[in-house]
Chains A and B, each alone.
Chain A
Amino acid sequence: MPIYRGGAFVDDTWRVLGDDEVADRGAHVIVSLERWRSEPQLRTGNVGVILRAGEEPDVIADGLVDAPLIVITFAKFTDGRGYSVARALRERHAFKGEIRATGDVLLDQIPLMLRCGFDAFEITHGPTIAALGRGYLPGLALSYQRPVGGSRRYSTVVRPSQASRQVAQEQNDGAGQA
């Protein structure tokens, strides 16, 4: 299934691995947090982790800081726990890998997710796929909150009085806006 990332759909190079499946050497696979914990040897390869809805990892103890991909599941789009998990990953742990939303991911929530540090989306909802396919993403261009580190790909203008700090932060991050 294609993944929405950086303003376009791209082919997904990752595959979710069942808990009893053996990982092919070098393949990009996603495992459950239990498996990630119980098989530390996985952590050196191209292995991402999927979190169930509401699952909170101990990022440091679990050695997730350098993981290339963390997938956060939204069992229902009204379950907002994933926003807090993503934001803590970016802000507290300076997580640099991909944060991907999966599950009940809908068009009107994607801008909010971008602002919380998500940068990739696995989408099954037809009208959402169609809208994004035409380049349509109906978020607000303005925000009272400063952008979360890592969400710099999403363009927002914050309060003028905070703008100077935003500019400084973006220069530190070394990135422009999408």
Chain B
Amino acid sequence: MYRYDEFDAAFVRSRTAQFRDQVARRLAGEISEEQFRPLRLHNGLYLQLHAYMLRVAIPYGVLSARQLEQLARIARKHDRGYGHFTTRTNIQFHWARLEETPDVLDLLADVDMHAIQTSGNCIRNTTTDPYAGVAIDEIEDPRVWAEIIRQWSTVHPEFLFLPRKFKIAITGAAEDRAAILYHDIGMRIVKGKGGETGFAIYVGGGQGRTPYVAEELRSFLPKEQLLSYLEAIMRVYNLHGRRDNLYKSRIKVLVKALGIEEFRRQVEEEWSKIDHVSIDLPQEEYDRIAAYFAPLPLVPGPITDAGVEKRRREDASFDSWVRNNVLPHRVAGHVIVNILLKEPGKVPGDATADQMEAVAALARAYGHDEIRVTYQQNLVLPNVALVDLVKVYDGLVAAGVAVGNYELITDIISCPGLDYCNLANARSIPVALEIAKRFADQSVAEDIGRLRLNVSGCINACGHHHSGNIGILGVDKKGTEHYQITLGGSPGDDAEVGTILGPSFPAEAVPDAIETIVATYRAHRREGEVFLATYRRIGQAPFKEALYGAPNSGASSRKQLQEA
């Protein structure tokens, strides 16, 4: 993984010093709160319902054991003993104090970390495939480019006051595990006609109030020209994105208003006028960064292990965990281990300081010192030898993070909701917890199979409900918390925005409604068909009827449900 050189280290130190000074000037009254706001947002400090929240960047979701241990230390010393991993693969501390923030930033700088541009109307953390560098279906490691984008976008003087926040995702694999089509810019590493690698570029995806799947902007961009091309996109957006209406200021609205052809024409024109040589990365700098991501010297081993097989026969929980959470690795005798932060009764994405330290210790002992954070708010040990798998599992059991529900209905993505966030209309976490409880029986969850369930507490869609196979959106209905259900969303290669099923439900009726939807799927599914496939085959009607009654009796059953 990438290590800071002297330049990077000096950069984050000087950034921390700069913010320390800005905080002091704010406290002295030299800067108004309005003037201070973007400065603190650019350093990850966000004002929530009860307190400041500090969002720490985990660039493209990659952590070392030492870094995760430092996050645990910060959780203990500066928060209430836990942190919350986000859908941008960052970590949030929900109880930060303004005066202490510069000290926290210093602690981060001690381990090559920062909180730069984790909030505000600027280019945010680039996300990528959590299995980058180890996935079997990978064309090229996207982390190299994610790191290049990190450096290029860090305090880029032209693009810190964009119309709105800006999110980039990149994948280098055949299967998109980074939801690139739901990003302002999505990038896919592809092979060109001559076998050379480059990027397919998509633009204008996003969730929020108006969800869009990104459109293709360019089918092939030579990779060495990436930064100049990104600058062209950013400049067109910075100059022409709407600034009069917060809800219409994302690039997706500009792309829709102009049409993709006109937007493409403007980008290409801008790009033709940019001096590529002064912006695109010199080869030696690419080589310097790429060297950090060279494959680990793993020794191939046997593809089965007697100890693992024996334990699987004897221990149903272990067997289920292996079946669901453990994925094949590029090097024989190794596996990818998904660690789910989705224990029943626990807030999705939350980890205690003890859990962070336990995972860090396992990564150091058995995982080549590397941890990944996923946008599904889970962790990954990407390099585990099969012979160590039982020891890793036992360590996770001891830490209370050994549930085996990867990509099952209980692997819920949820935003913090009204419990923490001042934007929310409704609580998200209690709804997610209640649903998880209904499907806590692992054999039931496994029988249901792959099903993505997402909960957002408001239309800003931080829980990605639009891309959930089942999406739940908190709305305010005459002062009470209600929840709208959407079906058929998908984040991957077949990205699609879910469709609203019907009138919303009060909180207490949501778990029943989800059970009804799942029962309808199980009644209609064909052999081997996952939820999304069944939904796409049979459409909305059977689900609607099961929930709201037959079309002609809709009104009465709707009334019944609302009063339930």
Contact = CB atoms under 8 A, between A and B. Distances in A.
Contacts of A178: none
Contacts of A109: 161
A124 interface: no
Interface stretch (A9-17, A23-31, A40-48, A78-86): A78-86
Given A84-B238, A115-B157, A140-B155, A161 B30 contact: no
Interface string B141-159: 0000000000110111111
Contacts of A83: 157-161, 238
A72 B16 CA distance: 30
Contact of B157 (A145, A159, A160): A145
B18 interface: yes
Interface string B276-288: 0011001011001
A159 B289 CA distance: 12
B156 to A, nearest CB: 6
A88 B11 CA distance: 26
A92 B151 contact: no
Contacts of A146: 278-279
A160 B7 contact: yes
B282 A144 contact: no
Interface in B30-51: 30-31, 35, 38-39
The 4 closest A-B CB pairs, nearest first, are A80-B161, A115-B157, A112-B157, A127-B30
17 contacts: A78-B121, A80-B162, A80-B238, A81-B239, A83-B157, A83-B160, A88-B235, A91-B274, A91-B278, A92-B273, A142-B7, A144-B155, A145-B152, A159-B285, A161-B284, A161-B288, A165-B282
Interface in B161-203: 161-162
Counting contact residues on chain B (CB < 8 A from A), the size range is 35 or more
B157 to A, nearest CB: 4
B154 A144 contact: yes
B339 to A, nearest CB: 33
Contacts of A91: 274-275, 278
B219 interface: no
B243 interface: yes
B22 interface: yes
B14 interface: yes
B284 to A, nearest CB: 6
A142 B158 contact: no
Most chain B beta carbons < 10 A, residue from A54, A81, A88? A81
Contact of A140 (B14, B243, B278): B14
Given A78-B121, A80-B160, A140 B18 contact: yes
A116 interface: yes
A133 interface: no
Interface string A157-177: 101111001000000000000
A49 to B, nearest CB: 18
Most chain B beta carbons < 10 A, residue from A109, A113, A139, A159? A159
A19 interface: no
A142 B239 contact: no
A143 B155 contact: yes
Given A83-B158, A116-B158, A138 B239 contact: no
A53 B151 CA distance: 29
A115 B156 CA distance: 9
A111 B22 CA distance: 14
A165 B152 CA distance: 17
Nearest to A156: B157
Given A80-B121, A145-B152, 8 more contacts: A80-B161, A81-B243, A83-B157, A88-B235, A112-B160, A142-B7, A142-B10, A160-B5
Contact of B35 (A56, A79, A106, A139): A106
B125 to A, nearest CB: 15
Contacts of A85: 239
A88 B15 CA distance: 27
Given A84-B238, A106-B35, A127-B30, A145 B156 contact: yes
Interface of B: 5, 7, 10-11, 14-15, 18, 21-22, 25, 30-31, 35, 38-39, 121, 151-152, 154-162, 235, 238-239, 243, 273-275, 278-279, 282, 284-285, 288
Contacts of A79: 161, 243
Contact of A84 (B30, B151, B155, B158): B158
B285 A162 contact: yes
B151 A144 contact: yes
A138 B18 contact: yes
Contacts of A116: 157-158
B35 to A, nearest CB: 6
A114 to B, nearest CB: 8
A161 B238 contact: no
A160 B289 CA distance: 13
A148 B235 CA distance: 15
A43 to B, nearest CB: 23
A141 B469 CA distance: 48
A138 B21 contact: yes
Nearest to B286: A161
B210 to A, nearest CB: 22
A54 B18 CA distance: 29
A106 B22 CA distance: 12
A161 B287 CA distance: 11
Interface string A111-152: 111011000000000010001000000111111111000000
A91 B161 CA distance: 20
Interface string A60-96: 0000000000000000011111011101100110000
A54 B162 CA distance: 12
Given A83-B157, A112-B157, A141 B39 contact: no
A139 B11 CA distance: 12
Nearest to A75: B243
Given A142-B14, A144-B154, A80 B159 contact: yes
B11 A140 contact: yes
B231 to A, nearest CB: 10
A159 B238 contact: no
Contacts of B278: 91, 146, 165
A131 B31 CA distance: 12
B158 to A, nearest CB: 5
A141 to B, nearest CB: 6
A162 B282 contact: yes
A108 interface: yes
Contacts of B284: 161
A98 to B, nearest CB: 18
A84 B235 contact: yes
B285 A161 contact: yes
Contacts of A165: 278, 282
Contacts of A139: 18
Nearest to A136: B21
